[in-house]
Structure 1
Amino acid sequence: MTKIVVIIPAYNEEESIPLVIKDIPKNVQEVIVVSNNSTDNTEEHAKKAGASVLVEHKKGYGYACLKGMDYVASFDYTERPDIVVFLDGDYSDYPEELTKIVQPIIEENVDFVVGARVKELREEGSMTGPQIFGNWLATALMKLFFRSTFTDLGPFRAIKYDKLLDLKMEDKTYGWTVEMQLKALKQKLSYREIPVNYRNRIGVSKVSGTIKGAIFAGVKILAWIFKYSFK
Structure 2
Amino acid sequence: MKIDVIIPAFNEENSIGKVINDIPKLVRNVVVVNNRSTDLTKEVAQNAGAIVLDELQMGYGKACLTGMDFISKQKVLPDILVFLDGDYSDYPEQLLDLVKPIMEDDFDMVIGSRALGNRESGSMTIPQVFGNWLSTSLMRLIYKTSYTDLGPFRAIKWDKLTALGMVDQNYGWTIEMQIKAAKAGYKTTEVPVDYKKRIGISKVSGTVKGVFGAGYKILWTIYKYW
TM-score calculated relative to the size of structure 2: 0.99
2:5 aligns with: 6
Letter in 1 for 2:207: T
Aligned residues: 226
2:184 aligns with: 187
Letter in 2 for 1:192: T
Alignment partner of 1:199 is 2:196: yes
Deviation at 1:228, TM superposition (A): 1.4
1:36 aligns with: 35
1:174 aligns with: 171
Letter in 1 for 2:115: V
Provide the rounded CA distance (Å) in 2 between the counterparts of 1:88 and 1:119.
18
Provide the rounded CA distance (Å) in 1 between the counterparts of 2:38 and 2:56.
11
Deviation at 1:159, TM superposition (A): 0.1
Provide the rounded CA distance (Å) in 2 between the counterparts of 1:194 and 1:63.
26
Structure 1 residue runs of 5 or longer lacking an equivalent are none
Cα-Cα RMSD: 0.7
1:215 aligns with: 212
| Alignment check: 8 A CA contact 2:32 2:52 kept | yes
| Alignment check: 8 A CA contact 2:205 2:211 kept | yes
State the Cα deviation string for residues 102-150 of structure 1 (Å, max 9, x = none): 0000000000000000266000000000000000000000000011100
Alignment partner of 1:96 is 2:111: no
Provide the rounded CA distance (Å) in 2 between the counterparts of 1:216 and 1:17.
25
Provide the rounded CA distance (Å) in 1 between the counterparts of 2:12 and 2:116.
25
From 77, 80, 89, the equivalent of 1:80 is 77
State the Cα deviation string for residues 37-57 of structure 1 (Å, max 9, x = none): 000000000000000000000
Q: 1:139 to 1:71 in 2, by over 3 A?
A: same
1:55 aligns with: 54
Deviation at 1:227, TM superposition (A): 1.1
Provide the rounded CA distance (Å) in 2 between the counterparts of 1:131 and 1:119.
15
Q: 1:59 to 1:216 in 2, by over 3 A?
A: same
Any idea what SS the aligned residue of 1:59 has?
A: coil
TM-score calculated relative to the size of structure 1: 0.97
| Alignment check: 8 A CA contact 2:116 2:193 kept | no
2:70 aligns with: 71
Structure 2 residue runs of 5 or longer lacking an equivalent are none
Letter in 1 for 2:74: F
State the Cα deviation string for residues 68-98 of structure 1 (Å, max 9, x = none): 000001101xx11000000000000000000
Identity, in percent, stands at 59
Any idea what SS the aligned residue of 1:121 has?
A: coil
Any idea what SS the aligned residue of 2:225 has?
A: helix
| Alignment check: 8 A CA contact 2:117 2:195 kept | no
Any idea what SS the aligned residue of 2:53 has?
A: strand
1:151 aligns with: 148
